Amino acid sequence: MKIEKKILDPCCGSRMFWFEKDNPDVLFSDIRELEDTLCDGRKLKVSPDVVADFRNLPFENESFKLVVFDPPHMEKLGESSWMAKKYGVLGLDWRTDIRQGFSECFRVLKEDGILIFKWNEAQVRVTELLKLTDNKPLFGHRTAKSGKTIWLCFMKRI
């Protein structure tokens, strides 16, 4: 699939961290579409531009200048819990899934392109994730009160 947009978010969910949720430069993709009401009454809408699995992206090699990879990070959640609805859930073979996700994100990234990776260490440490890619981050930053959310920046080198 040939794409004219510069940025890919392959696990967009409800686009929570985007300031401009309909940014014209971003292709929003997710494996699911969903509309629901959370337990606190807030509406949740997952409405990707393209429904696709981050482990097997339908885009040509070197299609994007920037990829923002924020996959599900919890492996132990009830299927109907609000956390599962909001963030998704890791599969039983999550290491293979994340390894394939990194591989696909780097495949669709242009040479010298940037990959931003977001992870929360509530259940899985980021050091475990970094074992799943040969690419090394340039830098990172911990956020949130607990410091368990980390943002990492990679550059694709050929």
Question: Is 50 a member of any domain?
Answer: yes
Model pTM score: 0.90
Q: Ranked by mean pLDDT, which of 2-6, 28-32, 71-75, 80-84 comes out on top? A: 28-32
20 residue type, one letter: E
Mean pLDDT over all residues of the chain? Answer: 89
Question: Which pLDDT does position 145 carry in this prediction?
Answer: 76
Question: Is 12 a member of any domain?
Answer: yes
Residue 23, classified by CB atoms within 10 Å of its CB into exposed (0-12), middle (13-18) or buried (19+), is: middle
Question: Is 2 a member of any domain?
Answer: no
CATH number at residue 134: 3.40.50.150
Share of the chain above pLDDT 70, in %: 92
Average pLDDT over residues 142-149: 82
Question: Which pLDDT does position 150 carry in this prediction?
Answer: 93
Nearest one of 42, 54, 46 to 21, comparing CA atoms:
46
Residues spanned by the domain of 98: 7-155
Question: Is 139 a member of any domain?
Answer: yes
Question: Which pLDDT does position 1 carry in this prediction?
Answer: 66
Question: Which pLDDT does position 79 carry in this prediction?
Answer: 66
Compute the distance between CA of residue 95 and CA of residue 108 in angstroms, rounded to an integer.
20
Share of the chain above pLDDT 90, in %: 62
Question: Which pLDDT does position 82 carry in this prediction?
Answer: 64
Q: Which is more confidently placed, 146 or 112?
A: 112
Count of domains forming the chain:
1
Question: Is 85 a member of any domain?
Answer: yes
- pLDDT, tens only, 36-79: 887 777 788 889 999 999 999 999 999 999 999 999 887 776 66
Which 8-state DSSP code applies to residue 31? S
- pLDDT, tens only, 84-103: 766 777 777 899 999 999 99
Question: Is 1 a member of any domain?
Answer: no
Q: Which is more confidently placed, 125 or 104?
A: 104
Nearest one of 16, 123, 27, 20 to 70, comparing CA atoms:
16
Question: Is 99 a member of any domain?
Answer: yes
